[in-house]
Structure 1
Amino acid sequence: MAFAEFDEIRLHYLDEGPLDGAPIVFAHALGTGTLLWDAILPHLPPGLRIIRYDARGHGLSSCPPAPYSMGTLVRDAERLLDHLSVRDAMFVGLSIGGMVAQGLAVKRPDLIRAMVLSNTAAKIGTPEIWASRIATARAGDMAELARASCERWFTRAFLKENRHLPWLELLTRHDPEGYIGCASAISGTDFYTPTSGLRLPTLGIAGSEDGSTPPDLLRETVDLIPGSQFQLIRRAGHVPPVDQPETYAGHLGDFLRATGHI
């Protein structure tokens, strides 16, 4: 467990594996944290330097007053990688983490040599949708947001088997201020134009039953980047590192090798 202090923010991060290993950075979905990636770690190729962090308002990172901008979230990732002296990383971003990946690739191409956009898009939802969710969080009803999120995130089979319950509890306990802050960042973000200017190896990973960022939405985003690849994981929802970890890690391993990162 480690922390990096930057002005008003204290970021919790995990830096695992050999320091001279090929760096791979993971940015998580709204309401989760570093644990989103736990199940895929045993299936990744050996020798990687694996960096995970809790976004502001999440996990063990501090939670400044909302709202946050996407530029602020991108700057947090930028400062963390500079703090760790990381360059030419593969950056894996899921949902809001995928928006951070796009923004960081535009701002600091020296930090990212290849990118995985997972269950995300250049623009997610509408301001009206996010305003409604923010209002629910302000009213203190995180349980309702958690229930609705799980219905969008997980497959019917996953829900029927009650495998979602730890995530329901996690989302219910999430700090409303952190949720509001990051939801505000998503609401104000449209990366279609900047992402269309990117020229780096990119893999899109979608879940066939993703109710938050459906496969066609992700495909539309990765198609903005010439030469990008797309993988659809069957029987997966919005967080395939949770419901299909071995398959997900397999796609990451293939992409790591195809790009010469390992």
Structure 2
Amino acid sequence: MFVSVNDHNLHVALHGNPRDPALVLLHSLGTSHDVWQEQAYAFSETHYVICPDFRGHGLSDLSRTPVTVEVLAADVVGLLSKLGVQGFHLAGISIGGMVAQSVAATLAERARTLTVFDSSIVSLAPQMWKDRAAKIRADGLASIASGVLARWITPAAVDTPHGRGLATMLARMSSEGYAAGCDALAVADCRQDATRLTMPVSVAVGELDEATPPAAGKALADAIAGSRFTIIEGGAHIPLFERAQAVNAILAQSIREP
């Protein structure tokens, strides 16, 4: 489905029955809504699963203005309004986890639960993200693709179907779309959102995640009163396929919270 939000044409994949409780899933940098395939399949029998593509990702427009976490969050808020969604559960991974924090803070009375995977509360390496954006704009995304993929999954997963699928997602990614996401991560700061996250919050991070290490996930959890923190054993930065069973269990426990 395509929806016009904030003067941009955005794509959103919808799964399940609109009459069921809504579950919104926000993807990572360099992927698309398809990164949540395992979760959409598992939860669409009981939930209306909403998976948008951020600007410059998947089938959504490239951004015509500078991208920030707040801009992406405003797109999600606008999309939910266009879809007529009121109460919803929310989850995000990596940059999607930061966007999810911003959305949940903005719509605190409507966000029933928040689950954040492999993310942080503030940019961990602002200059690195600025340098990466510059390199991609100069040399193309292919110039860093192998290093990115190596952080997404473990070496054992590279030649599996989902490993090859993630490589294809990255190969088809727009260089400018990825660079704009790097711009957003260079200045990302969700610390002011933490006090407004009064819904049940769960934070989980892959044991082997080098992009947002467990210490970053623990710092995020510690900043949000009453949040739950979980280590995903054997998980790298994107455990949604490799550790789907563990991810689904964490998500299921989170959305059962009162």
Please say if residues 29 and 94 of structure 1, whose CA atoms lie closer than 8 Å, have aligned partners that are also in contact.
yes
Measure how far apart 1:51 and its partner are: 0.6
Q: Give the letter for the 2:42 counterpart.
A: H
Measure how far apart 1:173 and its partner are: 2.5
Residue in 2 that maps onto 1:98: 97
- Output the CA distance in 2 between the equivalents of 1:63 and 1:131: 19
- Output the CA distance in 1 between the equivalents of 2:68 and 2:25: 20
- Post-superposition CA distance 1:203-238 (Å, at most 9, x none): 111111111111111111011111111121111111
Which has the larger displacement, 129-138 or 149-158?
149-158
Relative distance call for 1:47 and 1:123 in structure 2 (3 A) is same
Measure how far apart 1:148 and its partner are: 1.1
Residue in 2 that maps onto 1:156: 155
Consecutive unaligned residues of structure 1, counting only runs of 5 or more, are none
Q: Give the letter for the 2:147 counterpart.
A: A
Please say if residues 200 and 254 of structure 2, whose CA atoms lie closer than 8 Å, have aligned partners that are also in contact.
no
1:182 match: secondary structure = helix
Alignment of 1:18-29 (within 5 A): 18-29=17-28
- Post-superposition CA distance 1:236-259 (Å, at most 9, x none): 1111112111221122112222x1
| Matching of residue 12 in structure 1 with residue 11 in structure 2 | yes
Runs of 4+ in 1 over 4 A off after TM superposition: 160-163
- Post-superposition CA distance 1:62-98 (Å, at most 9, x none): 1124631222111000000111111221110100111
1:130 match: secondary structure = helix
Aligned residue pair count: 258
2:144 match: secondary structure = helix
| Matching of residue 121 in structure 1 with residue 120 in structure 2 | yes
- Output the CA distance in 1 between the equivalents of 2:144 and 2:86: 37
Residue in 2 that maps onto 1:248: 247
Which has the larger displacement, 192-201 or 129-138?
192-201
Which has the larger displacement, 10-19 or 37-46?
37-46
Relative distance call for 1:104 and 1:40 in structure 2 (3 A) is closer
Q: Give the letter for the 1:201 counterpart.
A: P
Please say if residues 66 and 177 of structure 1, whose CA atoms lie closer than 8 Å, have aligned partners that are also in contact.
no
Residue in 1 that maps onto 2:67: 68
Please say if residues 210 and 236 of structure 1, whose CA atoms lie closer than 8 Å, have aligned partners that are also in contact.
yes
Measure how far apart 1:187 and its partner are: 0.9
- Output the CA distance in 2 between the equivalents of 1:44 and 1:176: 32
- Output the CA distance in 1 between the equivalents of 2:132 and 2:65: 14
Relative distance call for 1:59 and 1:196 in structure 2 (3 A) is same
Q: Give the letter for the 1:34 counterpart.
A: H
- Output the CA distance in 2 between the equivalents of 1:76 and 1:143: 28
1:242 match: secondary structure = coil
Measure how far apart 1:157 and its partner are: 2.1
Residue in 2 that maps onto 1:112: 111
Relative distance call for 1:87 and 1:163 in structure 2 (3 A) is closer
- Output the CA distance in 2 between the equivalents of 1:67 and 1:6: 16
CA RMSD of aligned residues (A): 1.8
- Output the CA distance in 2 between the equivalents of 1:163 and 1:104: 29
Measure how far apart 1:194 and its partner are: 2.6
Q: Give the letter for the 1:142 counterpart.
A: L
Sequence identity (%): 28
- Post-superposition CA distance 1:125-157 (Å, at most 9, x none): 322101111012101331232111112221232
Relative distance call for 1:60 and 1:256 in structure 2 (3 A) is same
- Output the CA distance in 2 between the equivalents of 1:248 and 1:7: 32
Residue in 2 that maps onto 1:226: 225
Alignment of 1:172-187 (within 5 A): 172-187=171-186
